[in-house]
Structure 1
Amino acid sequence: MTYEQRQLLVLGNRVPVLAPDSWVAPNAVVIGDVDLFDKVSIWYGAILRGDLNAIRINSYSNIQDKTVIHAARTSPTGLSAATIIGKYVTIGQGCLLRSATIEDMVVIGDKSILMEGSLVESNSVLAPGTVLPPGRLVPSGQLWAGNPARYVRDLSKDEKEEIGDLAKSVFGTMDRHSAEFLPHSFAYVATEKLRESAAT
C-alpha cells in the first residue's frame, strides 16, 4: 500500500493558513499553527512544525530545501517562543530554526542553526554554518559567522540592497516551479515521451 504525502496537516485547533499566492513544494510539509503571507515560498523537503507554538513567515520570504522550522512551547528567556520571520528573508538550505525571530531583509546561510530566543535584526547576514546560541542578538547591518556565532564586519550599502534582490529572485523562480504543479500543467506529457523513447 502506498501513501501520498500530505503538504498541510491540522493538529487540533492549530491550522495552517496560506496566502493564495504563497507556494509550498509538493514534498514540503506545513504542520499546525503556521501562517504564510503573500509571495512566500517553501521549498523541497522543508518542514514547518507549528505543533507547540506559532510560526509566522512574512511576505516575499523563502525557506530553502530541507530546512526545519519549529517552535518550543515556552522560551527560557521569557520572550515569545513563536518563530517569527520578517519580509524579504532568505533562509538557506538545511537550516534549523527553533523559536527564533528574524526581522526584515535578512539572509541566513545554508546549514545555520538558530536556537531559542535568538534574534537577527534587519539588513543582516549569517554566513553558512553559523550557530546562534539561545538568546543571542545579531545587530542590524552586520555579518556574523562561526560556531558559536561572532561578529565579522558591517555590511556595505550594496550588500544590504542585495538582500532584497535575492528574495525577489527566489520569488521569480517560485513562479516557474509552481506552474509545473498546477492542474493544467502538461509537463508530464514531455516526461511520458522521454520514457517511451528510452524504452524503444
Structure 2
Amino acid sequence: MEGATIVGDVDLLERASVWNHVVLRGDLNNITIGQVSNIQDRTVIHAARTSPTGLTAAALIGKFVTVEPNCTLRSCRIQDYCIVGARSVLMEGSMMESHSVLAPGSVLPPARRVPTGELWAGNPARFVRKLTDDERDEIRAVAVEVRRLASQHSAEELPHGTAWRGVEAQRAAQIDGGLYGWVDLRRAKYNIRVKEEQDAAARRL
C-alpha cells in the first residue's frame, strides 16, 4: 500500500497485506507476517536483538491475524487467528495464543501471555472474558474480508512507471510544432487584475 516502509529481514507470506504508512523494521531481527494476515494503517512492527524472556526476539505473526490501525508491536509473538485492537501496544516477549483478542487501546507488558480463546483489555491488559464460539469464528472472517479489500485497492491503484515522461515529451513536441500554445496562467491572472484595477480607477475619474 501507499507509503508503507519495509526494511531488513521481513517475510510476507501468501496473501498477507500491509496497509498505508505501516513501518516494518526488520533491521535488528526477523519479522514474519503469516498467510492472509493484515497489518493496518500506521502500525509499527520492529524487533530487538534479544528478548528478556530468552525466547527468540523475532516478531512472529501467524495466519489470519488482524492488526488494526496505529498499533506498536515489538519482538512479540501472535499465533494464528487473533485480533489486535487499534492503538494497542505489545511489548518485548509478549504473546497472544491462537483465537484470542486484544481490545483497542490495550498494552500487553513484556513476557505477558494472552491464553487461547480469551478477550483481554486495559493498560496493562487483563483478562475480561472467554470468547464465544461465534466470536472465535468471526476472527477468520475479518481477516478474509480485509484481504478482499486489499485486492480491491490493488486493482484500483494506478500502476507505477515512467509513462508520464512520454506524455510530457509528446506535449512538448506539439507545442514546438505550433499545435498548442503555452499559456502562463500566473501572468494571465496578473494582467487581468491590473486591467480591472485600471478600469476601476478610470471610472472614479
State TM-score, norm by structure 2. Answer: 0.77
Q: Which runs of 5+ in 2 are unaligned?
A: 161-205
Give the aligned partner of residue 52 of structure 1: 28
The equivalent position to 2:6 in structure 1, one of 25, 30, 52, is 30
Q: Which has more helix, going by share of residues?
A: 2
Give the aligned partner of residue 80 of structure 1: 56
The equivalent position to 1:176 in structure 2, one of 130, 149, 152, is 152
Give the aligned partner of residue 144 of structure 1: 120
- CA distance in 2 between partners of 1:151 and 1:160 (Å): 16
After superposition, the C-alpha distances for 1:39-67 in whole angstroms (9 at most, x for unaligned) are: 10000010000000000001000000000
Q: CA deviation at 1:123?
A: 0.3
**Greater radius of gyration (CA):** 2
Q: CA deviation at 1:180?
A: 2.3
Give the aligned partner of residue 125 of structure 1: 101
Q: CA deviation at 1:182?
A: 5.1
Q: Which amino acid aligns with 2:13?
A: F
After superposition, the C-alpha distances for 1:103-143 in whole angstroms (9 at most, x for unaligned) are: 00000000000000001000000000010000000000000
C-alpha RMSD of matched pairs (Å): 1.5
Alignment of 1:157 onto 2:133: yes
Identity across matched positions, percent? 59
Runs of 4+ in 1 over 6 A off after TM superposition: none
Alignment of 1:110 onto 2:90: no
Q: Which amino acid aligns with 2:134?
A: D
After superposition, the C-alpha distances for 1:60-108 in whole angstroms (9 at most, x for unaligned) are: 0000000000000111111100000000000010000000000000000
- CA distance in 2 between partners of 1:50 and 1:38 (Å): 18
Q: Secondary structure at the match of 2:26?
A: strand
Q: How many residues align?
A: 162
Q: Which runs of 5+ in 1 are unaligned?
A: 1-24, 185-200
State TM-score, norm by structure 1. Answer: 0.79
